[in-house]
Structure 1
Amino acid sequence: MGEPAVEELCAQLIRFDTTNLGGGESKGEREAAEFIAAQLSAAGLSPTLLERSPRRSNVVTRVAGSDPMLPPLLVHAHIDVVPADPHEWTVPPFSGEIRDGFVWGRGAVDMKDMCATLLTVLHRWADEGRGPRRDIVLAFVADEEDNGEWGAHWLIDEHRSLFDGVAAAIGESGGYTVRAASADGAPVRLYPVATAERGTSHLLLSTNGRAGHGSRRNDDNAVIKLVAAVARLAEHRWPVRLTPAVQAFFERAGAALGFEVDLSDDDAVDATLRRFGPAAKIAENTVRNSTTPTVLAAGYKVNVIPGLAQARIDTRVLPGTEEELLAEVDRLIGPEVTREFLARQPPVQAPVDSPWFTAMAGALTAEDPEGVVVPFCMGGGTDAKAFAALGIDCYGFAPLWLPEDFDHRLMAHGVDERVPVEGLRFGTNVLDRFLSTV
């Protein structure tokens, strides 16, 4: 049959518009899921399509390993994408155009690239008569870009047996090139692998007051009370809380870069981050918790003081710190403002020093011998939150080589999202080596 070009598979996947609008509204993943299932079948596997509701499709299959005594590994990747406004783009966002050494389109790095590299590995195995040592469960899921209710969270609720015995999982985001410079100016290529991620505790703040005419004095104005509370949250400087993943990042990246690492207090941590230069981006959002106001809602007419004002706060919580954070939130917002959870998913934390991490590091450095693999904690969240609830050690590992002057962070959810063709080929080789040997 011959191994398909990974860039062509990535382009084909991008051409399926799987836009997730949020709140249960979606273009649907069905056509992309059917394409993935066909590729899996062509590689000799037996995929199953699972849907909570029509067109919200998940694809699950299992690759048999040579040693049934080894616990299975889960590989999960989502097939939905966030919206894209074509008027802002250089190319149509669902064109899957290949040009200038890149595959362009929404989902190129988040995360149809990983879907393509994984499918390419499976075709390679089928062509060469190879396979993994342990069983590998593959889950291509819906709805990661919202809350997983049609994807990973639904799968573990309704089809938990598919993941029986799984010991570890890999998914987004990690294993990509971060270009930095050492203390003497020499280039250093870091490859961060996520061993943790902050929890999601999105909050709704509400306060009531006395409704009335906007022209009259009102000492019980809900808008004023809410704005003051939100300002206190926004201005608060959360203290440094070093989790195992973040501390290990500082120690290992510092050694690779040749910079002094001082973690003795908050100011020292901030100074260490400044010394790290571009590498600081890996950890700067995960040395602290965060409470970011994102939505304000109050009133319906300019001359009417409303009786209710509300705000939504994107709250991210480091492992082991939620109780401390919520107590401080309550102090900052005061007794006249109430809070409730809009979403509450706990942090994820897997062992840094494990055979899984060692195998990922080995696969990366086999393809880039001068690369340095470091653990890190993700600032946001992924479907790992669903699978970690089953006791699975979850890692962010979607390997990708990135060229100079390519800002990976600006690509995901950004305009003109694209992925380098050479990066896809690198990722395929790394993933092949890891899945074949772990």
Structure 2
Amino acid sequence: MTMSFNGFHRLYYIISIALLLQPPSAIAGDSILSRFQQYLQINTSHPSPNYHQAADFILSQAKSLSLESRTIEFVKNKPLILLKWPGKNPDLPSILLNSHTDVVPVEPHKWSHPPFDATIDPENGNIYARGSQDMKCVGLQYLEAIRKLKDSKFEPLRTIYVSFVPDEEIGGLDGAKRFANSKIFDEMNVGIVLDEGLASPEDKYRLFYAERRAMSLVIKATGAPGHGAKMYDNTAMENLLKSIESVRRFRASQFDLVKAGVKAEGEVISVNMVFLKAGTPSPTGFVMNLQPSEAQAGFDIRVPPIADHDQASLERRIAEEWAPASRNMTFEIRQFKQKDSGKPILTAYDSSNPWWTLIEEAIVKAKGKIGKPEIFPASTDARYFRMKGVHAIGFSPMANTPILLHDHNEFLNKEEYLKGIEVYESILKAFASFVEAKNGEDSLGDEL
């Protein structure tokens, strides 16, 4: 196709006028979504996350926002990016906005859109990508909220830090744990940490004040091997199946409480079988006429940090019901110890914690609704900061959104993403302006 100079000039003029006629908010929204897409398109999935490309992108955003930046490698090739917006009163405890750059693996053939294309569906506005909910959305929303505050000439009273850490999806040992236990973190004088939460299928945002302790349980059964056609007592497989059934009944009793609305998911003990290992391998699969002498099953267990669920009681149940020695069974428990004292680590969610009051008020101010405080059903990096005695709140502003973290076709609607930025803007303004009065009463700066 050919076009004359005058024809091209007219087309350019028409396009220019069309762009000028767009409302400023539409143009700004497109830029915000474009930046989100760029971050999502960086493949930081395990086992080989492209941390350095993600770090370069974050540093470029920090430069555009005139934020101080620092790259820290507690472990080689696992960069942690720390950004800083200095406050007018650096003596006040600071605010830390934490997020992780890594995401879980994907099975691309099970996605309706390529998981690292960050496709925006034109019909419904959903942004499909691994990390759209967990949790690249939150990291970029922090920065976009800061961008809005800077554009409005807001000056924080407290210093605001933004951290982008590696390795959360594989335990956070080389990321948040090392960071929280470093001299760097101690010198930051952090008073409150915001970290990830969960999407809400309802119109209310979810706030998390604690999380369940993670346990790994491996049950092993042994028995005499024998011909596949013979009926034996106490074979390895028979004994293991009895244990699995006992675990299944316990799981059902806990799940029934959730289904009935008696307890939230984070308030019960969850037990899920994650592997089953047995049989004698053969070139074509398994030997079918041989009963194995050993069989194993592995379980992911999550225990709420509340007094009703006694750790000793659970371990007694495992020893007496799930893996009794009388059935030639042994077991191994691996668990994450939150504190040597064994005491649960909770962030107060009542009036004794002004940060909790502030975040609730800020969400409402941004026209958001809030559900009741919850225990996070899985594990996040927030636990490492709570172990340091710092308040940590789990929050991801995703209402009216199905919970799809680690799932196929993970998505976040673009309107929810943009709304979340407004919510964070309100929260940061409240947090960064907060001054605790000498008489113990809380007060806010004139900025509010």
Bin for the TM-score computed over the shorter chain:
0.7 to 0.9
Q: Counterpart of 2:168 in 1: which secondary structure?
A: coil
User: Taking structure 1 as reference, are residues 63 and 84 closer, same or farther at Cα in structure 2, changes over 3 Å only?
Assistant: same
Structure 1 or 2, whichever has the larger Rg, is 2
Aligned match of 2:293: 307
Aligned match of 2:440: none
1:56 aligns with 2:78: yes
Aligned match of 1:192: 206
Q: 1:417 aligns with which of 383, 387, 410?
A: 410
1:264-279 superposed matches below 5 A:
271-273=260-262
**Distance in 2 of aligned mates of 1:128 and 1:270:** 46
User: Taking structure 1 as reference, are residues 92 and 374 closer, same or farther at Cα in structure 2, changes over 3 Å only?
Assistant: same
User: Taking structure 1 as reference, are residues 97 and 239 closer, same or farther at Cα in structure 2, changes over 3 Å only?
Assistant: closer
User: Taking structure 1 as reference, are residues 156 and 69 closer, same or farther at Cα in structure 2, changes over 3 Å only?
Assistant: closer
1:31 aligns with 2:53: yes
Aligned match of 1:112: 136
- Offset, 1:52: 4.8
User: Taking structure 1 as reference, are residues 315 and 425 closer, same or farther at Cα in structure 2, changes over 3 Å only?
Assistant: same
Contact 2:205 2:399 in 1 (8 A): no
Q: Counterpart of 1:60 in 2: which secondary structure?
A: strand
Unaligned runs of 5+ in 2: 1-26, 281-286, 339-343, 432-448
Contact 1:204 1:312 in 2 (8 A): yes
Aligned match of 1:298: 278
**Distance in 2 of aligned mates of 1:338 and 1:306:** 16
**Distance in 2 of aligned mates of 1:327 and 1:137:** 44
Q: Counterpart of 1:414 in 2: which secondary structure?
A: coil
- Say which is worse superposed, 421-430 or 62-71, in terms of deviation: 62-71
**Distance in 2 of aligned mates of 1:62 and 1:363:** 22
**Distance in 2 of aligned mates of 1:168 and 1:209:** 54
Cα RMSD after superposing both structures: 2.7
User: Taking structure 1 as reference, are residues 207 and 136 closer, same or farther at Cα in structure 2, changes over 3 Å only?
Assistant: farther
- Offset, 1:314: 0.8
**Distance in 1 of aligned mates of 2:39 and 2:246:** 45
1:233 aligns with 2:247: yes
1:161 aligns with 2:159: no
Q: Deviations over 1:169-227 (max 9, x none)?
A: 111115x5553xxxxxxxxx422211121111121222333344444554452222222
Q: Deviations over 1:129-167 (max 9, x none)?
A: 43433222322111212221332223334x353244323
Contact 1:222 1:309 in 2 (8 A): yes
Contact 1:195 1:349 in 2 (8 A): yes
Q: Counterpart of 2:267 in 1: which secondary structure?
A: coil
- Say which is worse superposed, 390-399 or 161-170, in terms of deviation: 161-170
User: Taking structure 1 as reference, are residues 29 and 348 closer, same or farther at Cα in structure 2, changes over 3 Å only?
Assistant: farther
- Say which is worse superposed, 331-340 or 377-386, in terms of deviation: 331-340
**Distance in 2 of aligned mates of 1:207 and 1:63:** 57
Contact 2:222 2:293 in 1 (8 A): yes
Aligned match of 2:381: 383
**Distance in 2 of aligned mates of 1:114 and 1:351:** 23
1:142 aligns with 2:142: no
**Distance in 2 of aligned mates of 1:310 and 1:131:** 59
- Say which is worse superposed, 81-90 or 308-317, in terms of deviation: 81-90
User: Taking structure 1 as reference, are residues 237 and 399 closer, same or farther at Cα in structure 2, changes over 3 Å only?
Assistant: closer
Q: 1:123 aligns with which of 147, 150, 170?
A: 147
- Offset, 1:323: 2.6
1:317 aligns with 2:303: yes
Counterpart code for 2:140? A
Aligned match of 1:262: none
Unaligned runs of 5+ in 1: 180-188, 242-265, 274-282
- Offset, 1:66: 2.3
Aligned match of 2:316: 327
Q: Under a length normalisation based on structure 1, what TM-score does the superposition of the two structures give? A: 0.79
**Distance in 2 of aligned mates of 1:401 and 1:296:** 37
Contact 1:295 1:311 in 2 (8 A): yes
Q: 2:332 aligns with which of 325, 332, 340?
A: 340
- Offset, 1:46: 2.6
Contact 1:10 1:115 in 2 (8 A): no
Q: Counterpart of 2:169 in 1: which secondary structure?
A: coil
User: Taking structure 1 as reference, are residues 166 and 339 closer, same or farther at Cα in structure 2, changes over 3 Å only?
Assistant: farther
Q: Under a length normalisation based on structure 2, what TM-score does the superposition of the two structures give? A: 0.77
Counterpart code for 2:250? H
Q: 1:16 aligns with which of 42, 50, 62?
A: 42
Counterpart code for 2:302? R
User: Taking structure 1 as reference, are residues 237 and 421 closer, same or farther at Cα in structure 2, changes over 3 Å only?
Assistant: closer
Q: Deviations over 1:400-423 (max 9, x none)?
A: 343xxx42x1x2222222212221
Counterpart code for 1:296? L
Q: Deviations over 1:69-97 (max 9, x none)?
A: 32222211111112222222222111112
Q: 2:348 aligns with which of 330, 351, 366?
A: 351
- Say which is worse superposed, 67-76 or 88-97, in terms of deviation: 67-76
User: Taking structure 1 as reference, are residues 359 and 292 closer, same or farther at Cα in structure 2, changes over 3 Å only?
Assistant: same
Contact 1:28 1:55 in 2 (8 A): no
- Say which is worse superposed, 123-132 or 57-66, in terms of deviation: 123-132
Aligned match of 1:182: none
